Structure 1
Amino acid sequence: MNRLGHYVFRSGKSICKTDIHARSFASAAKTSTANPQDDKNRPNYSFLSNIFRGQVESKEMFPYPDVLSEEQKETINSLVDPFEKFFVEVNNPAKNDETSKIDQEVINQMQELGIYGMQPAEEYGGLGLNNTQNARLCQIVGEHDLGLGIHIGAHQSIGYKGIVLYGTPEQKQKYLPRLTNGKQVAAFVLTEPSSGSDAASIKTAAKLSDDGKHYIINGSKIWISNGGYAEVMTVFARTSEKQLTAFIVERSFGGVTSGPPEKKMGINCSNTTEVYFEDVKVPVENVLDEVGNGFKVAMNILNNGRYGMGATLSGTMKACIEKAVNHANNRLQFGNKIKEYGAIQEKIARMAMLQYVTESMSFQIAQNMDSGSLDYHLEAAISKVFSSESAWYVCDEAIQVLGGMGFMKDTGLERVLRDLRIFRIFEGSNDILRIFVALTGIQYAGANLKELQKALKSPASNLGFLSQEVSRRAMKKIGLGGTNLSGLVTPALKPQADSIAQCIDLFGKSVEALLIKYNKNIINEQFLLNCLANSAIDIYGSVVCLSRATRAVDQKLPTADHEVSLTKAWCAEASERVVANLSKTSSKSYLELFREMRNISKTVCDNEGINTTGII
């Protein structure tokens, strides 16, 4: 399913050398983005990048963005009802799951609604929606049918997104009109048997023809969503030993075949197949961007659409919570409705908190992107990790609230749970993305330390920088000059803002301590990197909620008190987790625990399974 685990980083020497300042996880990400840090003279406004330096960049966090004009709000509101009606009255997710296909009538209705072309400009037949508007419709999709959502997303979020982002005017005019109307379906074709999260090992080859007019592609791909019937594909192939290039490939070119549909745990109605290329002649004008830029194209396609997963899964969580609440409001046990019991109340509260954080993250990122942000790749990665894990938890807890009824197919939650499992794997497995977040942030912090070391070698030439740095460190050492978020939030949330501010200061100190201790070898300390990533997730989620709840209060929204309560509860637990995770990075007992885990894993792997003596 093309999106399975292909966030492209490698721990081997060819891509990710042990020198963190070389082409590490972080630098690979850096070269892949739309250019968040390509211009070294341009400020980096990423909130997450800056907290790795123990600093706060609030420009894109406060106030919580509201980017839609009144006309744009009217446009999206006019689409919500038809979308809802389609998913309730036309589409049947249970039938889609059971038959492992999408009925033609459903496809016809999606074509009429413009679902196949939500973001491309109207001149290409699309609806011309921005990211924020698109996120709202993604919520509706996630609320009703994740399997159908994969079919849609594989088509436009990644299938032809490369043409939108990198296509020449001629490529856009040729391909987008036939794709936005849904008459032809697109696919994103990257993953190979030997290259899940490691696209550096791609073997599919593209050789320039003798006359220089075509590339001849040979190779095979696996797990391609829409792979059985996609007519237009964004295909990644090696044009030389060190160059990966993106191509627009049509099935009609000849030599493109597909295997049978894969049998999967979930998202059954989304078609997933192997795709084979045998002497496929692709015109040179079908290269996307430039020869050798395939890695950048692939990464930016994925980075550009990750906010949509958070929006989609916030809709899924909303639907799961509504089913759980309906049951809790009506189910009588031991003389009371079960909503009166503390155990159920805690479940519902946590489910609501996770949905609120997920939704807040995805719309923060979407609106920042619409405002022109270039520094969203870490935030988008965290949104993907958080939303996919939170949605799984929420659905699982909803089943628990419903008890035996939740386990039954008719309730629909078991299908949702099966569908959800893939989201923690594709578009970059969560394990890889955690390492990506940690190493990218550490590299940014390391660059600052490197600058300081360089300045210390020539203090006379760097008095201004040194004076500022020494002053900042001295103030923090005596407990002054620390992070302050309280001026950015509503008064009711100032204690929570102070707590998270302290977490940010502790986070920055912990990152610097790890850099000094491990230097370039930090890349090998993945237990510690996970602690940093989990802390960053909690900090970012907390600040997003502080910002959104403050917006609700400032705008006197009827939900303001509830949003403040959600934020207070979330920040209380998140700050405790941050402190606990960061303490592990310097705790001798935890470092010893990590060593024991390494030893256990090595023994189990060496023995190809468990290695304990039988009891009998």
Structure 2
Amino acid sequence: MMHSRKLILSLPRVLPAQQISPASVCFRGLATRAEAKTEKKDVPSEERKPVPSKSFVMNMFCGETVIDQLIPYPNYLTEDHTEVLHMLLDPTEKFFKDCNDPVKNDDEAVVAGDTLQGLRDMGAFGMQVPQEYGGLGLNNTQYARMVEIVGASDLGVGITLGAHQSIGFKGILIVGTPEQKAKYLPKVASGEHMAAFALTEPSSGSDASSIRSRAVPSEDGSHFILNGTKIWISNGSFAEIFTVFAKTPVKCPKTGDIKDKVTAFIVERSFGGLTHGAPEKKMGIKASNTAEVYFDNVKIPAENVLGGVGNGFKVAMEILNNGRFGMAAALSGSMRASILKAVDFATNREQFGSKIKTYGTIQEKLARMAMVHYATESLAFMISSNMDGGSKDYHLEAAISKVYASEAAWTVTDEAIQIMGGMGFMKETGLERVLRDLRIFRIFEGTNDILRLFVALTGMQYASTHLKVVQKAMYNPASNIGLLIGEGSKRAIRAIGLSNARPLPGVHSNLASQAADISKTVELFGSACEALLIKHRAEIIGQQFALNRIANSAIDIYTSAAVISRASKAIAAGSPTAQHEENIAKIFIDEACSRTRHNLKIVRSKDAMKRFDLMASISNDMCENGGLVAGRALGF
């Protein structure tokens, strides 16, 4: 039943790709951990078991469907939360419709002063700051609903707001001391002081371990002296408060050795020595300010260390993972606005004697636009609700929501332009501006390429822990017979082509087929991940052709799960749109599961591996040649 092949696996420690500022990410180096020596003895139960997780995505990598955060579709809004939200929605929508001019902001490459003042008056700069510090005190779901409005109107304004509160002072909000909160939150919540997040440097994009900015403590320990340069900093030209990351010397308490570790600091422009360069000229989000920031012997009080000396990477992760879900919400708003324009055009435009809405080509475009929007919105509010419910297991889900939303929004807006033809290409419709603005979203908050690796490797690491449990149990089968029989049975059933999967519980019977398909696909996904781990062990990090397809499979499965959960809730509640949502769910899930099975087949295919090797060879030839290698078609 159980083969005796050792399953000891040692994966690299993976940290998630982080947003640094527009057009950059932070991805700490993937340092391989040495394999732990395993003695042939029974391991205490507390050592055998991996740390349990309620994350649906994390457990997928073990072939398990854990629905604690999935079904029923979560919603932690109380009546008071809903009432507050309704009070805010109408005036906010009216403000962006009547008072903000996105075209002017884009043309002049700056958010108009009256727009900024209007946002201050509405409390938009401190939406999640507790009321005791002068903020609105919104929870994550309320915040997500509000940023939908901003995303539908002006992504340039959205970045200005997001760089300020989603990352700029978010560290103070989530890990700051009571004294730091009391000192800084009132002024940033009111918008009197703008905030920025400063991590990216000329030499450190995806590899934040190469940070060169340095903060050296004074002899008396009262302050640090900071020197360095940060690039692509949103709000960099006018922010007063910066969350800055720099290397500091840290003494190891065990060995006494001094090593450099990254520390986060709260830095005020008023400290002196902080200057900035000219605003960057960008493809999109022109209204948001982006600039280099320079630190020349900036004196930082010791009490302005944020989250503890040497804990900078941890602080960055907490900030960025905490705010990443908001991007899906904002882009859901952008998609909704683009779809509205496309539907209006298709409904009224007549060609060849008929409205273009009657043509199958247009119908398929509109239907697919609706499906990916539905999936994006489902992800955004599922994750925000899980966070409001106290979940700490949402980091992979949030990363997936960012990747999916940024690519879906680009596709939707591009297709809206296509439906509108020449009119869509004209500046007058506003879609060309939206498309330019959207391009950055696949790059910042962690490039989608890096985030795919983060999802795949983090999930693989979790799965490897599970495999280690099985391997250790084999050293004392008498004490672990239940575990071994269960694992052996699952593998035996798969070996003869049968499935252990059971349909997702709690799903409406109208979607029973899709529920069964998701469960079976999760099982196939877990089996494929296990096979890759056994084959490549710690070297799995180098199998990026396969890892990308594993990540795409994880994205398809999780979005399908979010869609089926939301649609099932609508059907059960007798929602007026239930049939429409059911139709969306059936098509979306059927196609997503089909794509996943195709990707999983590829990662196990020897022919595909040969093609991957050929692609690597082609790429290497190009890089060695400095460009294209093949001669011109005409020979000259």
Quickly name the TM-score band, shorter chain normalised: over 0.9
Report which stretch shifted further, 497-506 or 524-533: 497-506
Picking from 530, 548, 566, the partner of 2:584 is: 566
Q: How many Å separate the matches in 2 of 1:543 and 1:231? A: 43
CA contact under 8 A between 2:24 and 2:200: conserved in structure 1? yes
Alpha-carbon contact 1:21-1:443 (below 8 Å) kept? no
The residue aligned with 2:612 is: 594
CA shift digits 1:198-256 (9 cap, x unpaired) = 11100000000122100000000000000000000000000035300000000000000
Amino acid at match of 1:146: L
Residue in 2 that maps onto 1:378 = 396
Superposed, 1:341-360 pairs within 5 Å as 341-360=359-378
Deviates more, 1:489-498 or 1:311-320: 489-498
Contact in 2 for aligned 1:7/1:433 (Cα 8 Å): no
**Residue 607 of structure 1: which of 625, 628, 631 is its match?**
625
Aligned to 1:148: 157
SS at the partner of 1:487? coil
Shift of 1:612: 1.4
SS in 2 for 1:184: coil
CA contact 1:157–1:305 (8 Å) conserved in 2: yes
SS at match of 1:81: helix
Aligned residue among 492, 512, 533 for 2:530: 512
* Deviation, structure 1 residue 181: 0.3
Residue 30 of structure 2 aligns with which residue? 16
- Deviation string 1:121-157 (CA, Å, 9 cap, x unpaired) is 0000010000000000010010000000000000000
Say yes or no: does 1:167 pair with 2:176.
yes
Residue in structure 2 matched with residue 325 of structure 1 by the alignment: 343
Whether the 8 Å CA contact 2:50–2:465 is kept in 1: the answer is: no
Counterpart amino acid of residue 282 in structure 2: K
Which amino acid counterpart does residue 418 of structure 1 have in structure 2? R
Alignment of 1:223-262 (within 5 A): 223-240=232-249, 241-262=259-280
> Match for 1:131 among 128, 140, 143?
140
- Shift >4 Å, 4+ stretches: 18-22, 38-42, 475-481
- The code of the aligned residue for 1:139 comes to E
- Report the equivalent of 1:59: 68
The one of 166, 175, 181 equivalent to 1:157 is 166
Secondary structure of 1:270's counterpart equals coil
SS of the residue corresponding to residue 71 of structure 1 reads helix
Q: Report what 2:500 is aligned to.
A: 482
Alpha-carbon contact 1:202-1:237 (below 8 Å) kept: yes
Deviations 1:424-468 (A, max 9, x none): 000100000000000000000001111111111222333333233
| Match status 1:197 vs 2:206 | yes
Q: Distance in 1 between matches of 2:98 and 2:505?
A: 48
SS in 2 for 1:16: coil
Which amino acid is 1:45 matched to? K
Partner Cα separation in structure 1 for residue 229 and residue 470 of structure 2 = 48
For residue 389 of structure 2, what is the amino acid of its counterpart?
Answer: S
Aligned to 2:222: 213
Cα distance, 1:477 vs structure 2:
4.3
Query: Are residues 1:79 and 2:88 paired?
Result: yes
Q: Which residue of 1 aligns with 2:568?
A: 550
More deviation, 185-194/491-500: 491-500
- Structure 2 gap segments, 5+ residues each: 1-18, 37-46, 250-258
Amino acid at match of 1:267: I
Question: For the Cα contact (< 8 Å) 1:76–1:133, is it kept in 2?
Answer: yes
Which secondary structure does the structure 1 equivalent of 2:239 belong to? coil
Task: Map Cα deviations across residues 46-76 of structure 1 (whole Å, 9 max, x no partner).
Answer: 0001010001101110000121111110110
Question: SS of the residue aligned with 1:418?
Answer: helix
Q: 1:293 to 1:393 in 2, by over 3 A?
A: same
2:600 is matched with: 582
Report percent identity of matched pairs. 56
Q: CA deviation at 1:487?
A: 3.4
Report the AA paired with residue 133 of structure 2: Y
Separation in 1, partners of 2:376, 2:366: 15
Deviations 1:260-305 (A, max 9, x none): 0000000001000000000000000000011000000001111001
Residue number among 270, 281, 298 corresponding to 1:263 in the alignment? 281
Take 2:342 and 2:67, find their aligned partners in 1: how far apart are those partners?
37
Match of 2:353 among 325, 335, 339: 335
Aligned-partner Cα distance in 2 for 1:491–1:408: 46
* Aligned pairs, number: 597
2:448 corresponds to which residue? Answer: 430
Verify the 8 A CA contact 2:48 2:472 in the aligned structure 1: no
Q: Residue deviations 1:161-209, cap 9 Å, x none? A: 0000110000000000000000110000000011111111000000001
For residues 330-351 of structure 1, give each alpha carbon's deviation from its aligned partner in whole angstroms, at most 9, with x where no partner exists.
0000000000000000100010
Deviation at 1:563, TM superposition (A): 0.6
> Retained in 2: the 8 A contact 1:20–1:443?
no
Q: Partner of 1:35 in structure 2?
A: none
The CA deviation at 1:18 is 4.4
Cross-structure match for 1:311: 329
CA RMSD after TM alignment: 1.7
C-alpha separation in 1, matches of 2:156 and 2:173: 24
Asked if the contact 2:125–2:191 (Cα under 8 Å) also holds between the matched residues in 1, the reply is yes
3-state SS of the aligned residue for 1:67?
coil
**Partner in structure 2 of residue 28 of structure 1:** none
Q: Give, in whole Å, the separation in 2 of the partners of 1:270 and 1:20.
A: 45
Distance, in Å, in 2 between the alignment partners of 1:559 and 1:501 is 26
Q: 1:33: which partner in 2?
A: none
Note the alpha carbon deviations across 1:585-610, whole angstroms, 9 max, x for none.
01122111101100000000001101
Residue pair 2:263, 2:308 contacting (<8 A) in 1 also: yes
